Amino acid sequence: MIIDPITSMNRLKAFFSNSNSDTLPNNTLEIPDLIKIDTDLSGFQSPLVINNDYIEIINLPNYVQSPYILKGKNLKKVDLSALTQIEFNQEYLHSSDFLLLSILQGTKIQTLDLPNFKGTQGEVPSSGTTIGDSRAERASFRNNYWLKTVSMGNQFMKESENTQFKFNGFWFRNNYSLVALILNYPYVIPIDRTEGFNTTPIIEGNGYIYVPNQELLDAYLTSWGTKFTNKFKLISSYKTNMKAYEDTITDSWSQILANCINGSYTKYNVGDTKTLYYYGVPAQATIVAKGTDNVHDTKTDGTAAALTWMLKTISIFDKYNLNTVFGNSAINFHNANGTSEYPGYRTLFTNTILNGISSSPNAKDTIIQDGIKPVIKYSAGTDENGEWFGSIPSNETIWPPSASEMNLRNHTSPYAYFTDSRNPNRPNYFLGQTTLTSDDKGIITIGTRDYSQNSSYPDIIRSTGKNTKMEVVSGDTTNSYLIFGFCT
């Protein structure tokens, strides 16, 4: 069912043989004339398997069948406008148990629109399986950390034709940014389990499920249960509610940086936010100090840094082993570079993070990188003589915070952002837009810039609860998330 089989086959061959910028222009796989792939499986399921870390965009707008695997860690956009259903009570393809079902898992997608999607008739895993079972990892839409809005169905669907379809409550597990699920169905789509929502802002945060009218809202509350009390809203309120996630600063990064140079940065306030992009995904930064504050950063030329920025929440969802091989050198952040063979903790910031920052989601630029000012930072650690000090100075461009800056220790003065009486629980970093204090592996931890005596692991801060400050743990070996800061 391909209108232009030669062109489409050439595109598929190019994709599966050698996915590079020559064979896939703009990192895009686009086959608009693909409708179905003939198989001996269900009429709405196909053995199409795409798992590629190079591809960024997949457009299959007329493809009605469900692919068996569709994923990629750099996949940012998909067009599956014609997709009608997924999951057919099968966790792997035929007898190929190495081809485990995986539909849009672990991507960088931020919005997902499925206007013809009816749901599933054979969810994966089968009903009765607990969320802790390894089989639950097969459920679709898992680990899309930056997926913010999902829209399903349309107003013209008929309940009488879709009575066997349901919403798999294991979907969207670990979608830490999912603040809006829009259900456009003119009827209630049934759900038989709900645990996938437990790791989204819809249950753990300020996310909501949006439905067409008040009658349906009341019906969903009855059908989906008390777990979703106060979590349903009308679609008419969606745009207004989403403003809460917008930046408070509307100036471009270029204008912000220009204002830092000409002295006009005083128009910005501590707590103001601006989104940057980290390898193509959004990370909202917040101002934690200004050059006019009593506590501010000092540039290496001795003048005050205009603005100090730090990530507002956890936006990098990789966890790192923060150990560094120091040899006989001083154990402090500035020396935590490791070796060429085994890059150290500081190198994560000066190389991996710095190189990943951009002001644009679509094209890599160095606008922010070029505007970062090196400053004198202070952190705990030992000097060349092995003596431990609470505030060792070093010149840094991009860095993790120290416990003192976050008002958790008193070696140096904390930033204004962390002493604001309106937010006594800072720092209490969460996963994305959730209020989660733990992930699948346990309690959330974040690396700091400090080193305690007799430790080659940096101190970390650890969650203690939703409404309490994080606590400092000295020299812990737990793999941790990263929060970074910089000055402009």
For residue 233, count other CB atoms closer than 10 A to its CB: 17
Mean pLDDT of 328-333: 91
Q: Is the pLDDT of residue 180 over 60?
A: yes
pLDDT band for position 71 (cuts 50, 70, 90) = very high
10 Å CB burial of residue 128 (0-12, 13-18, 19+) is exposed
Whole-Å CA distances, 163 to 22, 128, 373:
46, 21, 60
Mean pLDDT of 254-262: 98
| pLDDT reported for residue 15 | 56
Q: Tell me the C-alpha distance between 449 and 402, whole Å.
A: 5
Mean pLDDT of 358-382: 95
Q: Tell me the C-alpha distance between 421 and 340, whole Å.
A: 45
Sheet holding 471-473, edge to edge: 445-451, 458-462, 471-473
Q: Is the pLDDT of residue 70 over 60?
A: yes
Query: Nearest CA to 484 among 392, 390, 369, 380?
Result: 369
- Torsion angle of alpha carbons 138, 141, 143, 145, nearest 10°? 180
For 271-419, list the strands marked E by DSSP. Answer: 273-278, 281-290, 298-299, 307-311, 357-358, 375-382, 388-396, 398-399
| pLDDT reported for residue 126 | 87
| pLDDT reported for residue 21 | 47
Of all residues in the chain, the percent with pLDDT exceeding 70 is 93
| pLDDT reported for residue 363 | 83
Mean pLDDT of 226-255: 97
* 221 Cβ neighbours under 8 A, 6+ residues apart: 228, 229, 232
136-174 core/surface letters (b: 16 or more CB in 10 A; e: else) = bbbbbbbbbbbbbbbbbbeeebeeeebeebbbbbbbbbb
| pLDDT reported for residue 405 | 97
pTM: 0.93
| pLDDT reported for residue 41 | 55
Residues 77-109 have pLDDT tens digits of 999 999 999 998 888 877 677 788 899 999 999
| pLDDT reported for residue 396 | 98
For 399, phi then psi, to 5°, come to -155, 160
Whole-Å CA distances, 341 to 324, 325, 326, 336, 399:
12, 11, 13, 14, 22
Name the average pLDDT for the chain.
93
| pLDDT reported for residue 196 | 97
Selected residue with higher pLDDT from 25 and 84: 84
Residues 465-482 have pLDDT tens digits of 999 999 999 999 999 999
For 200, phi then psi, to 5°, come to -125, 160
Q: Is the pLDDT of residue 73 over 90?
A: yes
Q: Is the pLDDT of residue 12 over 70?
A: no
Mean pLDDT of 95-124: 92
pLDDT band for position 17 (cuts 50, 70, 90) = low
| 435 secondary structure, DSSP code | -
Mean pLDDT of 269-295: 97
**How many degrees, rounded to 5, is the angle at CA 134 between CA 145 and CA 149?**
25
